Amino acid sequence: MTTLTLPLPSGRGTRGRGALQFLNNLADSFHEGLELARRYDILAAKSDAQLARLGLRREDVPRAALLGRSR
């Protein structure tokens, strides 16, 4: 993920921005978790034959969802 950091308009330092950075990281992590769950659900809904065509077995689904690719 890319984060854009802009200076404060008043020219003050960025002291106290830790909470904002934390919330930004939290939102990024939440989004990443949702994407991981979506990939898992898509793979888990496939039949064993469909998974085999992708080069996967049922037990490979969690790893494939996490890595985003087949073995």
Residue 12: what pLDDT?
A: 60
H helix or E strand, kind and range, residue 54? none
Question: Whole-prediction pTM value?
Answer: 0.66
Q: What would the pLDDT profile of 43-69 be if each residue is shown by its tens digit?
A: 999 999 999 999 999 999 999 999 976
- Taking the CA atoms of 17, 11, 3 and 27 in sequence, report the sign of the dihedral they define: positive
Percentage of the residues of the chain whose pLDDT score is greater than 90: 66
Residue 68: what pLDDT?
A: 79
Q: Are 64 and 70 in contact (CB under 8 A)?
A: yes
Longest Cα–Cα distance of the chain, Å, equals 61
